[in-house]
């Protein structure tokens, strides 16, 4: 086999550090002003905004399409 059992790839210390921190985020996470504001934004503001838009446009659009039979004449716009 290639490499004879040795580690043939060079490891980038920055990437190794990033993967370690990513895998252990729960150990290093702290609530700061920034993380709190992002949590409120993505956890409350955006879902409530989408709910508001959904409620305001509920019934505004009519997606019902008139179903015609095969032998009906074509509908001509006036």
CA dist 68 and 64 (Å) reads 12
Nearest CA to 22 out of 33, 14, 31 is that of 14
Nearest CA to 44 out of 54, 33, 32, 52 is that of 52
Rg of the Cα atoms in the chain: 29
From first to last of the 78 residues of the chain, give the pLDDT tens digit: 556 666 777 899 999 999 999 999 999 999 999 999 999 999 999 999 999 999 998 877 767 666 667 777 777 766
* Number of residues written out for the chain: 78
């Amino acid at each position: 086999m290639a490499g004879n059992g040795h580690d043939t790839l060079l490891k980038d210390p920055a990437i190794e550090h990033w993967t370690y921190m990513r895998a252990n985020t729960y150990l290093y996470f702290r609530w700061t002003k920034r993380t709190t504001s992002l949590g409120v934004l993505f956890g409350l503001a955006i879902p409530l905004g989408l709910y508001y838009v959904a409620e305001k446009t509920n019934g505004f659009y009519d997606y019902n399409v008139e179903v015609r039979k095969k032998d009906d004449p074509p509908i001509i716009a006036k």
